[in-house]
Amino acid sequence: MSNMSYCRFQNTLRDLQDCNHAFSSAMEGSEEDKLSREEANALVEIVNECEELLGYMGYLVEQDEDSINGIEDLKEEIPEILDF
């Protein structure tokens, strides 16, 4: 099921937080959260997507080094960069 564009990031954030919790539990040895091969492959794809997103963030920092001095500054600037 796809996300509606007006709440895509909000919904994805909650899902990503749930995945993060499940992965953490699996790493601690929880049988309930043990990942199947398919889920482990999907986790790798999530990591790849996150890496790409962070690459975009790094690019934005490089483009405006005078006012953005790292990811923390960038997080504050995202609404302005995206013209909110």
The rounded average pLDDT for each run of 10 residues, N- to C-terminus, in the chain (84 residues) is: 79 94 88 86 93 80 68 75 68
One domain for residues 27 and 40: no
Domain range for residue 53? 35-84
Which helix or strand (DSSP H or E) is residue 67 part of? none
- Helices (runs of H) and strands (runs of E) counted in the chain: 3, 0
One domain for residues 82 and 53: yes
One domain for residues 42 and 20: no
> What is the pTM (predicted TM-score) of this model?
0.69
The count of domains in the chain is 2
Residue 30, pLDDT score: 77
Maximal C-alpha separation, the chain: 49
Residue 48, pLDDT score: 93
